[in-house]
Structure formats: C-alpha cells, structure tokens
Structure 1
Amino acid sequence: LQAPGANGQAEVRGYHKPIMLAGGIGNISAQHSKKNPIPPGAALIQLGGPAMLIGLGGGAASSMDTGSNVENLDFDSVQRGNPELERRAQEVIDRCWQLGADNPILSIHDVGAGGISNAFPELVNDASVGAIFQLRDVHNEEPGMSPRELWSNEAQERYVMAIAKEDLPRFKEICERERCPFAVVGYATEQRHHLSVLLGKPPKMTRDVKSTAKQLKAFDTSNIDLKDAAARVLRLPGVADKTFLITIGDRSVTGMVAREQMVGPWQVPVADVGVTLAGYETYRGEAFAIGEKAPLALINAPASGRMAIGESITNIAASLIDDIGELKLSANWMAPAGHAGEDAALFETVKAVGMELCPQLGVSIPVGKDSMSMKTVWNDDGENKAVTSPISLVVTAFAATPDARKTLTPQLQTGVASKLILIDLGAGKNRMGGSSLAQVYGEVGDTAP
C-alpha cells in the first residue's frame, strides 16, 4: 500500500517479513510451580537438540533490516526448528512431572536468547549455587564450532535443568524410552561465581528520536458504489474466508476443544473466541482471543494499540468470564526501528497501552515478544526498493472460564423470538481511516477510530 511518509514522499507500507501471532495458556500443578533448591553435586543437564550454528548473529543480526546483512551471518541468525525433537523433549518433561512428588527435575529453564551461556548461569544463580561445566559434553551437530559458538548458539528445542545425582539413572531411563537426547554438561558447586557482569542490568540504551507529522488525505467515500465496495472488502485477505488456513490442521485434537473456528451448520470460520476444557470431567476451561489493528498505525499509532486491546477484549467477551480483572494479555510488538518517526510512534503506542489504557481497564500484560526489524530493503536492477511495516501490536487475551458451554457465536438463530441490536461503539463518528474499506480503494485516510 502506498502511504505518505515522514518526508512527504509516498512509501510502500506492508509486510515482506512475517508478522507474528503468538500466545498460549497452560496449567501447572501447584507443587511444580516453584523451583526447588539445587544441592551441590546435582547434575546440570541439557535436554533436547544439539548445538548448531543458529542465532550467532544475536539481537544485532535479527534486528537488522532484511537485505542489509552479509549472507553467512543472515543464515546463522535464522532459527531452524525441529518439531519431532521438541515433542520428544516435551514427553520427557511430561513423564517427569507426572511422577508428582517423585519428579526428578529440581529446576528447569528454557534456552532462548544467548543459548546455554544465559540459561545455565541463570539456572544456578537462581539457586544460589555455583557450577563447573565441560563444553565438550554438549551435543554438537557441527564439530567445527568454537567454544564460544558452543556456549552462545541459540539452537532450538533445548532445555536446561538440574537433576539430583541419585535421580539421574531414573531420568536417563525416561529419556531413553522417549528417545530424547540429553547431556550432563556440568555439576553444581557450593562455591558461587560473580555473575553480575553476565546477569546484571546492562547500561540503558538512549535513543534520540523525533515524532513526525504526516500530510494525510481524507478518505472520500462519496463516489463509492455499495455493491462494488462489498465485493472488494470480502476479497481482502484480512476479511475473506480463512477456511484454507484452518482446515490444514486438526481442530479437535485432544478432545477438549469446546469452541473452535467453524460456526453453524455451514461451518463458517467466524468464531470470535477459542475455548478449551480444563479436563474431561469438568466444564471449566480457558478462553483466548486475538486483536490487531496495524493499518491504523499509518495514521495514529497509539490509536492502533488501543484498538488492538479493544478488539481482543470484545472478542473474548463472547465467552463467560467472571471479571475483566481476570483477563491477561500477551502483547507482540513489531516495528521498523530506525525508520523516520517510527521509534517515537512506538514509544507513544507503548505508553498509550501499557501506562494508560490497560491500568484504566484493570487488565495486565504479563508476557509478550517483539521484533524491531520490520523493514525489508533490496536492489532490483540498480533501483533501491523497500517495504516498511507499520507499528504492529498483536494482542492475545486469555482467561479462565467457569463454564465453556456458555460461549456465544455470531450465528443468528431465526427459529426463536429475538432482536438484532446494533451497538455503535464509534458513537456516530464513523472514522474510516485505516479501515478495510479504505485499503481496498488504495487509500489510508486521515482520521482513525
């Protein structure tokens, strides 16, 4: 979509890099919700996949505009998943916690940014113990890796954990049964190490950014034909039927899915909320819904954030939730950091959502992710081209529901006496800037809801 830029010139706004929709909920037994002390001599284990040349560009590489990096570092910074190995590691963890009080796992930590160079130190530091590691014992898919690469790579499907020495044979049996590789990389010691350099707070980054004013043109709807507009909007990917995406997976896996995407006798994918059961002998469950309004950020970035929050809440309202305070939100932020005006717009959006709207509503955002490199640049026959994403906030709302059966759908019931009520949340203002209608006519507009 061509949209006005900060310098008054039109620029291409859209998504050449994938946008992320992420969020999940789960349950954990109270006895497993806290890490246990790690005694000296406990085995420190890496469970799951081997070390690989992945993520070695780190945040510096993954946050660079696509096309601006050297090829080998671009490849090293790409995450490459292994679903089969992830499943095996999860089965090992499941077999352990299902042992209840005999669970051999004393403490567990995921392996994310920084690889095991971050995960292992955090694991032992949280338990107030030290550790000795042997990097040569780390399973390694690429033998040419240096010690630094072994210690810092971000290969996927790995966990680190502490297992008491006496429980190690039992843990080994579980891993062998599930065919999941593991390695004893080190042992806990009484002597602690000074980890303030590694785990302390880094110096705060200062970014000198400025807000920019855009010259926006009003969206004129006076000459739009209603029939043509309806046909265009229904063909827009953001509005059109998503059956082709939904039917590639099993929507009833586990047998505890109470509300999936398809609704009614004609199986139309228009459900506002997903609901799952907490077990096979209860009606209690979990509800979750998504909200996003990224196109509005081309006009008013804080408004796009508020609308994403609003959409997630009005979607999850189709399920039974006792109190809005029980809602938890996952915020996934994407922005083209460094692009003129976008850093300031991101700051204003975070402030509008995190410091103003959510506290007013009484809901919290305990978790989220971000990608600050939502811009793609390339050269086409000597011509420099770029596609820049707008500030994009994707919100996943989730909460417990006391009765999964009491979930509403958009299906109209004509066989009962009922009324169809329009609730105008726009209070008659009809601000169409950034709307699907504006997009299908190649417009942005100047006023966002």
Structure 2
Amino acid sequence: MGEKPTIALISPSDSAKMCVAESLFNLFAADVKTLDMVKLSANWMAPAGQPGEGKALYEAVQAIGLELCPELGISIPVGKDSMSMKMSWDKKEVVAPMSLVITAFAGVHDTSKTWTPVLQRKEDTVLAYVDLAAKVSKSLGGSALAQVYNQVGNAAPGVHDAKLLKGFLNALIQLHGESTVLAYHDVSDGGLIVTLLEMAFAGRSGLTIDIKSKEDPLTALFNEELGAVFQIKKSDYSKFVSVLASHGVSEDFVSVVGTPVFDLKQEIKVSVNGEEVLGNTRAKLQQTWSLTSYNIQKLRDNPQAAEQEFQAIADNHDPGLTYKLAFDPTDDLAISTLTTRPKVAILREQGVNGQQEMAWCFKQAGFDSIDVHMSDIISGKVSLDEFVGLAACGGFSYGDVLGAGNGWAKSVLYNDRARSEFSKFFQTRKDTFAFGACNGCQFLSKIKSLIPGTENWPSFERNRSEQYEARVCTLEIVDENTDTPLIFLDGMRGSRIPIAVAHGEGRVEFHGDNVQKQFIDDGLVAARYVDNYGIPTEKYPFNPNGSPEGITGIRTPNGRVLAMMPHPERVARLESNSYYPEEAEQWGGYGPWIRLFRNARKWVAENETK
C-alpha cells in the first residue's frame, strides 16, 4: 500500500509519485519476480468542484499516469474514485484534500524469502541505509514530525529520479536471490529514526547509531524522502553495495548507520555527526511509542488488559515466540503408505469462512475432504453416515448475531433431521471423530447435549479484553498423567507451539467453580495459552480472551471430539506462520500443527484394523 495525503497539501504531483513509490517499497519486501509484472490499483479521492481541487487532481494523475509509471514500466489497470469528499452541516463545510491510495501487487518466486523489519540475532551485522535522496536537499514537509507540531511545510519530498528508483527496485529483486538481507524496513512514515526504532522494537534489541549527514539533526532523522534500511552481515556489505551499483545505485547512496545490540540492557544510542541526540532504552522508547494507543485502549477496552500489554513491553527478558516440540514435524506417521482416503465432512454454515484451510489440512493428512453445508444435512441431501469425521470450521456463523455459534447450534438442536444425524454420529457410532476450531469450537460446545462426556464443558463468552482478537499466541498441549486418549494430539503432550487466534468470544466460562474443578480433574483440558516463558497464563495479550488457567482446548473423555478456539488449520502450512525457527526449513513445508490432522488419519487407520 502507498498513501501520502499530507504531502498533497503541498504538492499533489509529489504526493501521487510518493504513493506509488511507497507501495513499491512495501511490495518489494517480497520476492517479486520482475518489475514489469507489477500492477497498481489507484483509489482517487477528491472534492470535485472545489476551487483548485480539479487542478490538483489533474496534476496528480499526470504525475503518475504520464510520467512516473511509464518510466518505471508499470501500469495502473484498475482503480476507483470518490469525487465527493466534502461534508456540509449547520452552515459548516469540511473539505478533504485530494488524496490517493495505491495498492501494488505482483507474483512472487518464494514466499519464504519475504523480508520483515525484525532484526535478526546474528553476530557481526550492520544497518545499511540506502538513501535515494542523498544528492538533493531534503525537506520535512508533510512529515510525521511536522504533524506533531501542527505544521505542514512548504516543500515536499518526492521521487527525484525515476531511473534511480527503478534501478533500486531491480536491485531488490537480485538481493532476494542473494540471501544477503536479514531485515528490511522502508523509510516512509516517520523518517530514518522511526524506521530504526521500529526495527529495534520488532527485534527487541538495542541500537548504536551514528549518522553522517549534511543536514541538521532533525532533518536528517525525520525527513521522509525515499530510502530503506537493511540489516546485513558485515562480511556481505561489499556484495550488497556491488549489487546496488550494478543497477545504477552507486555507493554514494549507501552508508552504514549503525549496528543492532543484542543484550539485556537494550540501550539505544543515536548520534548525528558524532553528537549524541538520543540515549534511552528500547523499553522506555517503545512504551513512549505505544503511549497514545495505550491510553485509547484503556478508555475503549478493558483497562486491565491494556495495562498488562503495556507493561509487557518493558520486559527485556521476554524470549518472544518459541517452539518446543515433543515430536518430529517431519514424521508423517506412515499415512503416505495408506491406500484409502476416508471422507471428512468440512462442515460450514452461513457466514463461516474457514473451510478452505480446513479442507486442505485434512487432504494433506490423507483424507478426502468434502464440502458440506448445514442446508445439505437439513434437506437430507447429505447424511453424516457417509463420513468418518467432521470438522466444524471457523468464521462467523450468522454473523454471530445470536452469539458465538448459537445460530449454528440451533439449526441442529431444533431440526429433527439434523438432530438425528448428529446424535447418531456422536452417540451410536464408535468409529467417528469431530474437530471444531473457533466458531466450530463454539458450535460444538452449544450442542454438547448430543455429545457424550461433555456435561462439564464450558461455554465461550466475550473476550475479557472487550475486543475482537486477531494475533499469534502460544499454546501448550496439556501434559498430565492421564490414561484418557488424546487422539488428535497424540505424541504432542508438552509441546509449546505458536498458533493463529481470531475471535471476539473465546473466553472459557464454567457454570460453577466445582464444574471447572471437575472438568480439570477429569483431564478434559487439551490445550492452554502460555506466555513466552511457557507458563500457563491469564494475562493479556498472551491469553487473548482471559480464559481461566489459560484453557482454550477442550475434549471428550474418549478423545474423539476436540474443540479449540485458536486456528491450527491456518498455520499447518509452514509459510502461513508469522514466525518459525531456521530449522523449520527442514520440515517439508509444513508447520507443526499438521500433526493434529495426521493423528486423526492414524487413528482411523488403527480403527480399521481392529
């Protein structure tokens, strides 16, 4: 994405060009195949008819439609416009300035080679700054710093040399193939100092920065001219510079501005031309950076959750996301030798949206995934007799208008045909299994009257944070001395694995303390949220919904039914994980959660031989 509305107040043409450039800087963090494959979508917004706004729009369209994009060799085949950006009421009129939002898209070679701003904990690395405006006089116009002081400015940053920009983008394509870059962040919002700090925040590191500049410190640190920061090994610096130079970006545009520091102090020291202008800790600066969001969060959401998240920023010992596996992710449990593909009903209802990922996971594990809508069962078109398993998918059945999973459950409980189908599946047959994720988990908990052994199952209520939570958390597969089978989680006990979370109503609620105690004593907890130290927690954001004792996965005594609020199906493909360790490259393209689905296939195979 690229957007620079503030610059449009100074120069509509520069704003449009910078929108295109920003979108390309963001896009080329991925392993884009070629520049000429890139396509843009332009969303134009302007108050048509207002004095001067037609002229501004014309200048902006000309700047990218007739100048920059043709020079780069890319096109804008799609877009939209909103030409009524004006509001009048009570004799007052508010006019929005001309603005543009660019969306860039292209095919990529390898998604695993996408660069992120997270500083890598590698020895002997440096931070290289590629400044595409190194030979021009820089401006603070339209910058975040100017906005802090309620100013706009008279001169704006811009694309000063389209040929240089094109060469830089082509160099990024080659650098992806060289495996030289460890981290990357473009200098687009906030300037060089904000870019460096954001990389430190993401990597939980300190910094030692010394910037050489012909500009005054404020301009050097906060101008938002085109540029990017790269983390590379010292030994790769000459190769890095050579690749850039081969595409027309000479060493004059490249400089080493500092190094990341990985220690417990996490101190950040910034100097400009040898004079220190900033000295503080990562924790203090990140809390300052987060302060506005924190104060809004305290008013809008649960203030206790806001406080817990804010205080977690200051923990220098936090190891971050980690994997602790009690099994070998490459072990396919011999399912590749099986010759049959049992049918699994990939069950969904109106509003459910997670069926594709769920179907993929079961297919990878040796099942035949069949799309089954609740209307198929209610009408009698499909019978659950055809299936050995069912998977209730995530999403928002009936928009969660009746509460999480309630509408979906009612379509079973109050329909004779559907109720009979599910009763037989859970109660009469002994060869079946069921898995529910997120909304599917809520659905199963609402029809627990049809599932043997679920009398003490909890319900899933509104998150304590008072917000819909979409994030990555860590689950621990409960490791307790119990003889009850896990089936889905066989061999995974004690593992701690990051997982995707996306729900607004996932807080476990038991109807009585004795019920919760009995549930735990019966060994029906399958998984808990843990913090980054591996300790079961109720603290936000490690436990995103406030469930007691971190409980988020529940099961039946016979292990045939598993329900969990997080989404293992969304991260069973390795590249779907936002983080994984280097050794994961040997996992054959799968994340650890594929084991859950393989376990189900193994159990079916074992049942077939009995």
**TM-score higher than 0.5 here?**
no
Higher helix share: 2
Q: Name the TM-score class by shorter chain.
A: 0.3 to 0.5
Q: TM-score, normalised by structure 2?
A: 0.28
Q: Return the structure number with greater relative CO, CA threshold 8 A, min gap 6.
A: 1
Rg: which structure is higher? 2
Q: TM-score, normalised by structure 1?
A: 0.37
